[in-house]
Structure 1
Amino acid sequence: MHFTAATLALAAFATSVSAHATMFGVSVNGVDQGDGRNVYIRSPPNNSPVKNLASPDLICGPNGGRAVGTFVKAAAGSKLTFEWYHDNRNDDIIDGSHKGPIITYIAPFTEGNGVGPIWSKIAEDGFSNGQWAVDKIRANNGKIDFTLPANIAAGKYLIRQEIIALHEGDTAFSQNAARGAQFYPSCVQFEVSGSGSVVPNQNFDINKGYTSQDPGIVFNIYQAVTSYPIPGPKIFSGSGASPAPAPVTTSAPASVRPTTTAAPVVPTTSSAVVVAPVPTPSSAAPVVVQPTTTAVVPPVPTTLATLVRPSAKPTRRPCPAFGKAKKREN
């Protein structure tokens, strides 16, 4: 039998009444922290979705501004497991028609409802290898794992996780209030320990950042899906930031002379001693560059005859040894 997109949409709508979800509890590194509903989770009064992108309920649910008395304690870098359910723990979690992503954000702790530019994304799962994140959480008994950033600063936080069901997401809620993507948000209070110093600072405003123009919010799951653009910013990478590289110096090493005073360079193919030109009376003494190994000095060209200091005697005194500069008298 051939099913059209409209038929599938109607079937999804028929099951939507009893297909909702909410969060039950949290595990830290595999240790169950117990039933967190209204204990460390700001639990909503029921498992109904939020559809209005401008509503403050989109952030942490209808009870998002009601702080609870307990915090889940976890060290930075811990593996966290959030557990969802439908009506009872370990049930069908959420209807299989409600395909979509699961996204996790973090913000500094507030007793308010989380509205405003305070959120940073720390985990996401959309569509990969033919499976939606909702398919995976259903197969995993309502549990989804992610890692708390290892270098996050110690302190109190809100961690918000949401399931977005796209079975009616081919039309924006702003265009048709009977349709639109369904959001199931839940906020958990955490107290994080550790020596990290990174404070998440994406400053994402969910009410303003999620719009009806977002292709990840208005999305037709009944088409042939090969990829999916997850809403919101990229995953916050500041937790893995490394120190800035040392600045590169552009000054010359101390051993390098300025080019205006450097001695003539000896070609590498010659081992002869190079003698600088004869200075004028006002110039400094000529610079003599000696080779590192003893070499035979070729005959002095006639043009260098003026280097010989005049003597009172008619004859010239021979040099004591070749290859060495004559010591100059003061």
Structure 2
Amino acid sequence: MARTSALLLSLLASQACAHTFIWGVFVNGVDQGTFKGIRIPAYNGASGKGGYNNSPVKDLGSIDLRCNVMGDVQAHDTIKVAPGDNLTFDWHHDIRNDTDDVIASSHHGPSLVYISPDPPTQNSFVKIWHLGKYESNPFPQAGKWSATSDIAKNFGHMNVRIPQGLKAGHYLIRAEIIALHEGDVSFKANPRRGAQFYPDCVQIEVTGNGTVELPEGVSFPGAYSYEDPGVVHNVYCSTETKKPKTSTTPCVTDYIIPGPTVWSGAWPETTSVSVGPVKGVTTATPWSTWIGTDSVVTSATYADVKSQTIVGTQKYTAIWSETYVTPTPGSPRW
């Protein structure tokens, strides 16, 4: 933790782009506290251009796709849950209350949840929920998507249940939103565009006497490909049978959510629950350190961020432990 403590002094106060990450987790409707158990993403925007810790990951070969930038850095605490508990992830853009826009209205796409033992290993992420496009509209309307018409319209709430009978132990929940507003081409073909991935990981400890073990899953990176139809997809013509003159890609009439199928051991239905009041802060404080392109650390004051001035850089390399390490208590990362 010492190697990263200087990088975690503070986080973003004012975020200009309508991106998103998890600010809190409700367990059976009870808030566990703002940022508790959450591996808060660091900055991952274009180097020297200012940036936000709610920016997307676009490189499918990057380790940042696992739990976002600096996802190897543990949160100081872990959320205790039991099999069958309902977890509500509270996604937000720049303030944790019901007035927040959660994510830009143009950022249509699917939502997905995986679970893995903590720490992850090869092929350890198992999908336990997803929702993509659930209603079609004629071109050029984008249809109704989980990210914008479900989660954003429900105050940023994404729900999932801990699998029945899951064996006790430490796990990571990897929750994700994929925005496809620029997904008509791949990031590999055009790095200025491409699908935007918003993964975020939450540390949980499952209690009880369950005996169910997770099956083999997928790896991050590795689970998604630029050839996947769910990664390269034109949301604005996805329901048209003929290719519009304005489109440069074939229009398809359905959408295939990327990644594996949902594990048969997951709950067949996940319903929303009523949530109680938020515990803790509802805004993030100014930060002075962030992660740049290719995980390059750029150190600056908040004034430097606003003026887009670079004052120094050094390389940050993610180091994932191969064995579980108990989180170190300390001051919150925000």
TM-score range, shorter chain: 0.5 to 0.7
Indicate how the Cα distance of structure 1 residues 204 and 104 shifts in structure 2: closer, same or farther if over 3 A, else same: same
Does 2:161 correspond to 1:147?
yes
Distance 2:260 2:61 in 1: 18
- 1:243 is aligned to none
1:150-169 equivalences in 2 (<5 Å): 150-169=164-183
Letter of the 2:32 counterpart: Q
- Is the Cα–Cα contact under 8 Å of residues 202 and 236 in structure 1 kept in the other structure? no
Letter of the 1:32 counterpart: D
Q: Give how far 1:194 is off.
A: 2.1
Q: TM-score, normalised by structure 1?
A: 0.64
- 2:40 is aligned to 43
Letter of the 1:40 counterpart: G
- Is the Cα–Cα contact under 8 Å of residues 198 and 239 in structure 1 kept in the other structure? no
Letter of the 1:94 counterpart: I
Instruction: Return the structure number with greater relative CO, CA threshold 8 A, min gap 6.
Output: 2
- Is the Cα–Cα contact under 8 Å of residues 119 and 201 in structure 1 kept in the other structure? no
Q: TM-score, normalised by structure 2?
A: 0.63
- 1:185 is aligned to 199
- 2:316 is aligned to none
- Is the Cα–Cα contact under 8 Å of residues 123 and 146 in structure 1 kept in the other structure? yes
1:184-263 equivalences in 2 (<5 Å): 184-225=198-239, 226-238=253-265
Distance 1:200 1:17 in 2: 39
- Is the Cα–Cα contact under 8 Å of residues 174 and 202 in structure 2 kept in the other structure? yes
Q: Give how far 1:203 is off.
A: 2.5
Distance 2:227 2:110 in 1: 17
Q: Give how far 1:17 is off.
A: 6.3
- Is the Cα–Cα contact under 8 Å of residues 83 and 164 in structure 2 kept in the other structure? yes
Q: Give how far 1:236 is off.
A: 0.9
Identity in percent: 46
Distance 1:142 1:82 in 2: 8
The DSSP-based 3-state class of the residue aligned with 1:207 is coil
- Is the Cα–Cα contact under 8 Å of residues 42 and 68 in structure 1 kept in the other structure? yes
Q: Give how far 1:231 is off.
A: 0.6
Q: Give how far 1:63 is off.
A: 1.6
Q: Give how far 1:239 is off.
A: 5.3
Letter of the 1:142 counterpart: G
Distance 1:177 1:101 in 2: 21
- Is the Cα–Cα contact under 8 Å of residues 28 and 87 in structure 2 kept in the other structure? yes
- 2:24 is aligned to 25
Distance 1:218 1:239 in 2: 27
| Comparing 225-234 and 100-109, the one that deviates more | 225-234
1:306-317 equivalences in 2 (<5 Å): none
Q: Give how far 1:161 is off.
A: 0.4
The DSSP-based 3-state class of the residue aligned with 1:47 is coil
- Is the Cα–Cα contact under 8 Å of residues 39 and 73 in structure 2 kept in the other structure? yes
Does 2:75 correspond to 1:68?
yes
Distance 1:115 1:231 in 2: 20
Q: Give how far 1:238 is off.
A: 3.5
Does 2:150 correspond to 1:136?
yes
- 1:119 is aligned to 125
Which contiguous aligned blocks of 4+ residues in structure 1 show a shift greater than 2 angstroms?
Answer: 224-227
- 2:92 is aligned to 85
Q: Give how far 1:146 is off.
A: 1.5
Distance 2:237 2:212 in 1: 41
Q: Give how far 1:230 is off.
A: 0.6
Q: Give how far 1:202 is off.
A: 2.6
- 1:106 is aligned to 115
* Gap regions ≥5 residues in structure 1: 1-15, 241-330
State the structure with more CA Rg.
1
